[in-house]
């Protein structure tokens, strides 16, 4: 039977180390909402989302209360809109769909809805292109809609035409939301090897391989790992790894419990648990602080990539045993603005964009929530996207880019996004050009799958 010590350990994790379930995300297929008339599509989408997700928020709150574990976000992911937008004749038609999604998300009370997306790793349909062109306006004129574009994969290579277009899209999104420091860009992720079942925003969408509806759960708990590692300072790597694994197991089991309960109560099949260490701006809820606890002075110092590789691997090893269905992104997230330890590292001069890029080779997900000067060229942003996509393509992993060019600000300034999005120092970007590279048309071919070295 459970004893006093175990009860107290669990409750301390929740109360003192910010243990929470980061998100319950309901995936909803909108493939059956297709119609040749945009008005009808909008009506179908609104009706389906409101019907399927009607009880999502209340169920999440009930579980939260009964188990005493905070469930921070209740969200929805949908079929990539590029796939259901065959009826759209212009970018404006897509924006009407975006506004419908925003209204539906508000009606059911979720705090984000992801899936204003296109999957274009090998090429763009007319609808995909129009959707991408509509992203800046869509994100500027909605509150809750998140957008993502998958521009590459290990099997198909990288669609450089999409990468070029997205450099401009990011800039345009930043411009249209310049009054709020480019916040629109915080809702736009560019992926390579995007998973179909990711519950985390802004990159969540409900892939075409999924069923009609599904419940995916994202767990978190950097604070809990940090606290556990404080107890083993100076110990060997095997003790360090064992401690991370045990902690990850406990965190994931809570996620599994919440997922099972939500799935039963909502009568929606359970999909996956995403085992991620997702930081928040709250003090102590930081992946950078874990790296510091492992032994580097600041995130970005020599040794950081190795420490992060170790952390990421142990989190997976511990979590895998706690749930039979693990998916999504599953790994340590290293966003800058959402992690106070990362912000401190940037301010101390320890962490650069290039070091972050190296770190993304060994963890999920990519260059995340990084504010850059507003005058950064579109081609430079495309170049950064292409580099990150290449890392994912060659290493058969998911990588992503979420950059925020902040108009009117430059290195040394800070931007405030508020809430879970946090605040960020503007980071320096390599000033040398790549126009001729980005200007080339076509695709980067898929890499060879043999002769690995």
Sole window of 52-60, 65-73, 330-338, 409-417 interacting with other proteins (rule: CB under 8 A): 65-73
Q: Pick from 35, 55, 62, 394 the residue near other proteins by CB under 8 A.
A: 62
Pairwise CA distance, residues 346 & 368, whole Å: 14
Pairwise CA distance, residues 396 & 204, whole Å: 19
324 counts as binding other proteins under rule CB under 8 A: no
Q: Closest CB to other proteins among 63 and 367? A: 63
Q: Closest CB to other proteins among 68 and 86? A: 68
34 counts as binding other proteins under rule CB under 8 A: no
Both structure tokens of 323 = 């749930």
55 counts as binding other proteins under rule CB under 8 A: no
Please check whether residue 380 is in contact with residue 346, taking contact to mean a CB–CB distance below 8 angstroms: no
Q: Closest CB to other proteins among 1 and 448? A: 1
Binding to other proteins (CB under 8 A) within 207-266 occurs at 250, 253-254, 256-257
Please check whether residue 336 is in contact with residue 343, taking contact to mean a CB–CB distance below 8 angstroms: yes
58 counts as binding other proteins under rule CB under 8 A: no
Q: Pick from 34, 50, 67, 295 the residue near other proteins by CB under 8 A.
A: 67
Q: Closest CB to other proteins among 66 and 436? A: 66
Rounded least distance, CB 63 to other proteins, Å? 9
Rounded least distance, CB 9 to other proteins, Å? 8
395 counts as binding other proteins under rule CB under 8 A: no
Q: Pick from 36, 66, 179, 231 the residue near other proteins by CB under 8 A.
A: 66
Q: Pick from 37, 47, 68, 269 the residue near other proteins by CB under 8 A.
A: 68
Q: Which residues bind other proteins (CB under 8 A)?
A: 1-4, 6-11, 62, 65-69, 250, 253-254, 256-257
């Amino acid at each position: 039977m459970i004893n006093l010590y175990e009860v107290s350990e669990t409750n301390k994790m929740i109360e003192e180390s910010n243990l929470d379930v980061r998100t319950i995300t309901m995936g909803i297929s909108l493939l059956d909402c297709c119609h040749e008339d945009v008005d009808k599509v909008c009506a179908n989408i609104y009706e389906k989302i409101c019907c399927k997700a009607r009880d999502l928020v209340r169920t999440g709150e009930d579980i939260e209360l009964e188990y005493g574990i905070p469930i921070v976000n209740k969200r929805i992911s949908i079929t990539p809109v590029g796939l259901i937008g065959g009826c759209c004749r212009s970018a404006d038609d897509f924006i009407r769909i975006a506004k419908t999604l925003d209204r539906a998300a508000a009606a059911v009370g979720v705090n984000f809805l992801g899936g204003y997306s296109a999957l274009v790793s090998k090429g763009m349909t007319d609808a995909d292109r129009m959707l991408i062109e509509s992203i800046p306006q869509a994100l500027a004129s909605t509150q809750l809609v998140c957008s993502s574009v998958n521009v590459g994969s290990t099997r198909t290579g990288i669609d450089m035409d999409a990468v070029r277009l997205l450099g401009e899209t990011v800039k345009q999104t930043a411009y249209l939301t310049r009054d709020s420091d480019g916040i629109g860009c915080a809702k736009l992720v560019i992926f390579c090897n995007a998973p179909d079942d990711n519950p985390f925003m802004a990159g969540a969408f409900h892939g075409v391989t999924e069923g009609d509806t599904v419940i995916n759960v994202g767990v978190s708990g950097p604070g809990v790992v940090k606290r556990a590692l404080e107890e083993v300072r100076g110990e060997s790597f095997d003790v360090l790894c064992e401690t991370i694994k045990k902690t990850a197991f406990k965190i994931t089991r809570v996620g599994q419990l919440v997922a099972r309960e939500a799935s039963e109560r909502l009568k929606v099949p359970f999909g996956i648990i995403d085992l991620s260490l997702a930081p928040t701006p709250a003090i102590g809820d930081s992946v950078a602080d874990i790296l510091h606890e492992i032994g580097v002075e600041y995130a970005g110092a020599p040794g950081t990539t190795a420490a992060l590789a170790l952390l990421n691997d142990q989190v997976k090893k511990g979590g895998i045993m706690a749930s039979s269905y693990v998916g999504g992104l599953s790994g340590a997230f290293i966003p800058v603005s959402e992690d106070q330890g990362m912000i401190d590292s940037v301010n101390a001069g320890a962490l650069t964009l290039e070091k972050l890029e190296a770190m993304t080779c060994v963890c999920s997900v990519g260059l995340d929530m990084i504010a850059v000067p507003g005058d950064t060229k579109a081609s430079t942003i495309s170049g950064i996207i292409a580099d990150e996509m290449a890392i994912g393509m060659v290493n058969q992993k998911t990588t992503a880019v979420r950059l925020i060019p902040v108009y009117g600000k430059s290195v040394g300034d800070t931007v405030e996004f508020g809430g879970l999005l946090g605040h960020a120092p503007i980071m320096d970007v390599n000033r040398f050009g790549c126009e001729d590279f980005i200007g080339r048309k076509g695709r980067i071919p898929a890499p060879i799958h043999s002769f690995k070295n």
